[in-house]
Amino acid sequence: MRVSIQKLTGDTVCAGAHVGHLVLVKLLGEVNREHSVPELVFLDFADVEIATASFLRESVLAFRDFVRQQRPTYYPLLANANVQVSEELKMLLDLQGGALLACELDIGNQTTNIQLLGRLEGKQQLAFKLVGERGETDAAQLQLEFGENEGVKQTAWNNRLAALAASGLIIETSRGRAKRYRSLLGGVYDGC
């Protein structure tokens, strides 16, 4: 799913908490039902020149937080944001300790220049990188490959992977009692 932020605001300047909240309401209308399979939601900032921190907090981050808790099969990503918008969002994410994937998205919905905005705790960053390198994995596989070097048990890998999935940075799928994890867009991203 691709949602144009410029079309939702009707402006190239996205400023203020109030406007951000109005955009949040419109975004929530786009995800009014749960899907049975994971769906990426590209928040497309093409043609947006400026987005303030208050706008981004009340729209993008509030949307991410809502869907991760209430509609967990939706995975929001930032798309086509210019340097100013990306830096503003990165600053917010750094302050909050969170992260969000960003990319360029062409008219055929092909992604390039994928990067992680914000930051992850060191062990989560390692788990995130390993999921990207493998495409799909689980805690047992990571424990088998890296448990001895990391000095942790499988529970630690489970916790790291579950936290990344709860943040919307990787996709969690259940196969019986087992959980598998895969990257949103495949591969390892800049900023990891």
What pLDDT is recorded for position 165? 92
Q: Which two tokens stand for residue 104?
A: 């360029």
What pLDDT is recorded for position 50? 96
The CATH code that applies to domain 2-118 is 3.30.750
Q: Max alpha carbon distance in the chain (Å)?
A: 54
What pLDDT is recorded for position 36? 79
Helix (H, G, I), strand (E, B) or coil at 168: coil
Q: Which two tokens stand for residue 81?
A: 């944001």
Q: Which residues pair with 100 in a beta bridge?
A: 117
What pLDDT is recorded for position 176? 80
The CATH code that applies to domain 122-183 is 1.10.10.10
Cα(34)–Cα(45) distance, integer angstroms:
24
Q: What is the mean pLDDT of each run of 10 residues along the chain (192 residues)?
A: 96 96 95 84 96 97 93 93 96 91 92 91 89 89 83 86 92 85 75 52
Among 71, 70, 83, 5, CA closest to 40: 71
Q: Where are the domains positioned within the chain?
A: 2-118, 122-183
What pLDDT is recorded for position 123? 87
